[in-house]
């Protein structure tokens, strides 16, 4: 009975009034679906520990600064996309959009724009996390001075994400390939400069590990630092004396030489 009354009421409206009611209902459905989408996306991201992975990144700190989080921002972005699509069709019903071609163009652009934004957000997040992880690894192998390497990795990820995002918007492929080639050359050039000391230390470390001119427990003097060898790895030699620890890059060991002290 209620449905019949509602149908009769709707049929009694003018065409413009019917369009208005349909548009309002469509916006309401869009809001509801957007909320459900945000809830589902948040659940999936939390299930995959995206919130923990984002912890400590610059992107997460920025998101916290605007009162949300990485997971919240991604879920809200998905909800916004659903609502915008619903609002677009509501405007079409109200005939606020001038032509059908504009609706078709918007329907083509919106999904691509959404994917492009999503790729950029994920790229920034992954780049920030990669910078932290690689920086921690370099510090763990006693190479905190190689700060350009984490940044180089971060910006490489951001650049690739930007290329993927631009390709979603169908930017000219030829221009993208030229940019990619130029960027690859820059990465190789800057990477060579950044890794020069690291590679020379690694080569020296391999030589020291193979020839063993000294070993753990030996007392040595290297470049004025005297003490007992505590660790020899590929990149550095650690010497300790009276509570003081010297971390000496292996390239310096070969260049300056090591004197083994015999008791």
Q: pLDDT of 45-72, one tens digit each?
A: 888 788 787 787 777 888 888 888 888 8
Question: Among 59, 181, 193, 195, which Cα is nearest to 134's?
Answer: 195
Q: How far is 158 from 171, CA to CA, in rounded Å? A: 17
CB hemisphere CA count around 214 (13 angstroms): 27
Q: What percent of the chain has pLDDT over 90?
A: 1
pTM above threshold 0.75: no
Give the pLDDT band of residue 246 (cuts 50, 70, 90): confident
pLDDT in tens, 213-225: 888 888 888 888 8
The pLDDT value recorded for residue 156 is 84
Report domain 172-263's class.
Answer: mainly beta
Residues in the chain: 263
Domain ranges of the chain: 172-263
């Amino acid at each position: 009975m209620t449905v019949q009354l509602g149908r009769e009421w709707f049929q009694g409206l003018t065409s413009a009034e019917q369009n208005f009611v349909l548009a309002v209902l469509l916006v309401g459905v869009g809001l509801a679906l957007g909320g459900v989408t945000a809830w589902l996306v948040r659940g999936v991201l939390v299930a995959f520990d995206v919130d923990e992975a984002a912890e400590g990144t610059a992107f997460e700190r920025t998101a916290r600064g605007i009162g949300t989080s990485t997971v919240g921002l991604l879920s809200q972005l998905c909800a916004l996309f659903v609502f915008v699509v619903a609002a677009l069709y509501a405007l079409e019903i109200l005939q606020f959009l001038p032509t059908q071609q504009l609706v078709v163009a918007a329907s083509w652009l919106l999904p691509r724009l959404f994917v492009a934004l999503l790729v950029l957000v994920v790229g920034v997040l992954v780049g920030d996390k990669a910078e932290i992880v690689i920086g921690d690894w370099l510090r763990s192998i006693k190479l905190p001075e190689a700060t350009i390497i984490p940044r180089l990795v971060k910006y490489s990820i951001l650049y690739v994400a930007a290329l993927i995002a631009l390709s979603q918007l169908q930017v000219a492929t030829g221009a993208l390939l030229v940019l990619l080639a130029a960027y690859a050359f820059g990465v190789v050039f800057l990477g060579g400069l950044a890794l020069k000391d690291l590679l020379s230390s690694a080569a020296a470390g391999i030589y020291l590990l193979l020839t063993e001119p000294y070993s753990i427990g030996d007392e040595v003097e290297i470049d004025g630092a005297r003490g007992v060898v505590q660790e020899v790895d590929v990149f550095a030699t650690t010497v300790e004396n009276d509570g003081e620890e010297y971390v000496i890059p292996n390239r310096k060991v070969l260049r300056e030489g090591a004197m083994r002290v015999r008791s």
